[in-house]
């Protein structure tokens, strides 16, 4: 019965005041009904939003892990891989003070998976000496690592990797000298298609160059220390990367646009925040063949404005080839790489406008698993390089290394490694700088 009908009946009885009262009550009831309908609609909306949030929380999967890397090392001499060329064995740098012409490699006396040198000695280009052993045998917490992974849904993934480093800083006498190294911080989208799979990564991510970058963390690295080429290929640049896998993962194409090169951060030819407008473009193509457990062959390269200078026309480049083979207990890999940062002269002085670098090198690594617990390995490195910055410093490196070691895995999540590296300079300048180092890695 509508309110109009009620009013008619009330008027028939002659009650005008009753009509008005009935009208007011009816209008109030209708308003309450509208309010209830509105509240019901709001409740349904909030319930739908809550369902979406709960569904998102159910899809979100967070994985936290990491490792502790503890070691002991001893290095011949003063622990450094370079010496001053006081006898002028490299006369091409006669315009530079003899004490700042350095022979050798400041990173050749690496003592852990991060590639930290036992001591940098007289090094000029690399000066952040975090170990400073001065040739003394030393126990060391190489890194306390924290890994964070989050699967947001079926296609979106977040990845972060951080090293906490107990170190002494040269510029402070306080105990608060420890360091924090954010190694990875990226967001990845990936999806499978009928033709294969595609992944796009944004942030700070792994390099595309070579093959060693895949196993550079202490638990996954077979050896204790990196190769001599790792400084050029194991860096984690900042930018955008895409990788496509085709033919049931037998063929891979990858392309990245980044602020700088894929050199490690402490190397003077790298940067995270770009110094110039022209970005660095790197690419890799890989073929995986079903030979035994697998044979992978790849080629990679990079081209971009030279790091840590502002001239966009000054281009640095890198090219390399790599192979990896696995068959039963045998695993082997090898790389070759070469590149150049041409630098720029200024005021009639070579490499004064921008530092110069040219390099080439290779390594081969073989490991053989025995009785599931032991993996003896052998690595041979070679690197020939020269660097110069005006009359401030110059490096001449022509070095070969032989590394013999063993990895012992007594149980899951635990690995003990020990190796001895013979460093030999192929220049006219020879000095003692062999390295014995160990690593105990506990993963969690």
Q: Picking from 258-272, 372-386, 411-425, which range would have the lowest pLDDT averaged per residue?
A: 258-272
d(CA 368, CA 257): 37
Per-residue tokens: 53: 């949030």
d(CA 364, CA 357): 24
Q: Could you count the other beta carbons within 10 Å of the beta carbon of residue 426?
A: 13
41-62 pLDDT, tens digit per residue, is 777 777 666 666 656 566 678 9
Q: Do 133 and 119 contact (CB within 8 A), yes or no?
A: yes
Per-residue tokens: 281: 């473009």
258-277 pLDDT, tens digit per residue, is 999 999 998 888 888 998 89
| CA-to-CA separations, 31 to 26, 37, 265, 335, 429, in angstroms, rounded | 9, 10, 69, 80, 97
Q: Which residue has the higher pLDDT, 17 or 434?
A: 434
Q: Do 340 and 317 contact (CB within 8 A), yes or no?
A: yes
Q: What are phi and psi of 25, to 5 degrees?
A: -65, -40
133-164 pLDDT, tens digit per residue, is 999 999 999 999 999 999 999 899 999 999 99
Q: Do 434 and 423 contact (CB within 8 A), yes or no?
A: yes
Render 263-319 in DSSP notation, one character per residue: S-TTSSS--SS-SSSSPEEEEEEEEEE-STTEEEEEEEEEEEEPTTS--TT-EEEEE
**Helix (H) or strand (E) segment spanning residue 30:** helix 16-59
d(CA 76, CA 92): 29
Q: Could you count the other beta carbons within 10 Å of the beta carbon of residue 313?
A: 9
* Strands (DSSP E) found in 28-113: 61-75, 82-84, 101-104
Residue 183 has pLDDT above 90, yes or no: yes
Average pLDDT (103-130) is 94
What is the predicted pLDDT for the residue at 57?
60
Cβ contacts of 50 within 8 Å, gap of 6 or more: none
What is the predicted pLDDT for the residue at 21?
76
Q: 121: helix, coil or strand? A: coil
Q: Picking from 2-16, 42-56, 208-222, which range would have the lowest pLDDT averaged per residue?
A: 2-16
Single out the residue of 302, 226, 227, 233 nearest to residue 262, CA to CA: 233
Dihedral sign computed on CA atoms, order 110, 115, 118, 121: positive
Global pTM reads 0.84
Q: Would you state the torsion angle of the CA atoms of residues 126, 129, 130, 131, taken in this order, to the nearest 10 degrees?
A: 120
301-337 pLDDT, tens digit per residue, is 999 999 999 999 999 999 999 999 999 999 999 999 9
Strand 179-192 to 196-204 pairing: antiparallel
Output the CA angle 410-411-414, nearest 5 degrees. 90
d(CA 68, CA 83): 33
Single out the residue of 304, 219, 298, 311 nearest to residue 254, CA to CA: 298
What is the predicted pLDDT for the residue at 429?
85
168-182 pLDDT, tens digit per residue, is 765 545 556 688 999
Q: Do 124 and 117 contact (CB within 8 A), yes or no?
A: no
When the pLDDT of each residue in the chain is averaged and rounded to a whole number, the result is: 91
d(CA 210, CA 283): 10
d(CA 110, CA 348): 37
Helix pair 3-12, 16-59: axis angle to 10 deg: 160
Strand 393-411 to 101-104 pairing: parallel
What is the predicted pLDDT for the residue at 48?
66
Single out the residue of 444, 432, 435, 404 nearest to residue 71, CA to CA: 435
């Amino acid at each position: 019965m509508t309110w109009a009908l009620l009013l008619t009946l009330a008027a028939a009885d002659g009650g005008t005041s009753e009509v008005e009262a009935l009208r007011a009550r009816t209008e109030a009831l209708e308003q309450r009904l509208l309010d209830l309908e509105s509240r019901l609609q709001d409740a349904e909306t909030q319930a739908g939003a809550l369902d979406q949030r709960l569904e998102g929380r159910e899809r979100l999967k967070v994985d936290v892990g990491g490792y502790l890397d503890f070691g002991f090392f001893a290095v011949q001499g003063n622990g450094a891989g370079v010496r001053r060329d006081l006898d002028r064995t490299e006369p091409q740098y006669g315009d530079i003070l003899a004490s700042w012409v350095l022979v050798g490699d400041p990173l050749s006396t690496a003592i852990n998976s991060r590639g930290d040198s036992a001591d940098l000695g007289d090094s000029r280009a690399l000066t952040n000496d975090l170990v400073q052993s001065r040739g003394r045998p030393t126990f060391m917490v190489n890194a306390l690592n924290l890994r964070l992974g989050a699967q947001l849904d079926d296609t979106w993934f977040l990845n972060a990797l951080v090293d906490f480093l107990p170190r002494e800083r040269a510029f402070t006498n306080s105990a608060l000298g420890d360091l924090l190294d954010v190694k990875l911080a990226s967001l990845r989208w990936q999806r499978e298609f009928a033709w294969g799979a595609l992944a796009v990564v944004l942030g700070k991510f792994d390099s595309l160059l070579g093959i060693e970058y895949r196993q550079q963390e202490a638990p996954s690295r077979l050896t204790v220390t990196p190769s001599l080429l790792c400084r050029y290929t194991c860096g984690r640049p900042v930018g955008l990367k895409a990788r496509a896998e085709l033919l049931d993962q037998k063929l891979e194409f990858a392309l990245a646009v980044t602020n700088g090169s894929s050199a490690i951060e402490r190397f003077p030819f790298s940067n995270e925040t770009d110094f110039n407008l022209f970005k660095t473009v790197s690419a890799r193509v890989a073929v995986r063949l079903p030979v035994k457990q697998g044979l992978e062959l790849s080629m990679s390269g990079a081209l971009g404005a030279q790091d840590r200078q502002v001239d966009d026309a000054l281009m640095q480049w890198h090219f390399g080839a790599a192979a990896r083979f696995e068959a039963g207990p045998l695993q082997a890999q090898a790389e070759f790489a070469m590149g150049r940062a041409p630098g720029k002269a200024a005021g009639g002085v070579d490499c004064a406008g921008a530092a110069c670098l040219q390099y080439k090198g290779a390594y081969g690594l073989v490991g053989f698993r025995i009785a599931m617990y032991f993996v003896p390995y052998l690595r041979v490195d070679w690197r020939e390089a020269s660097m110069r910055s005006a009359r401030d410093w110059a490096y001449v490196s022509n070095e070969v290394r032989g590394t013999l070691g063993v990895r012992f895995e007594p149980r899951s999540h635990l690995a003990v490694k020990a190796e001895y590296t013979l460093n030999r300079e192929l220049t006219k300048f020879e000095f003692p700088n062999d390295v014995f180092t160990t690593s105990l890695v506990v993963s969690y």
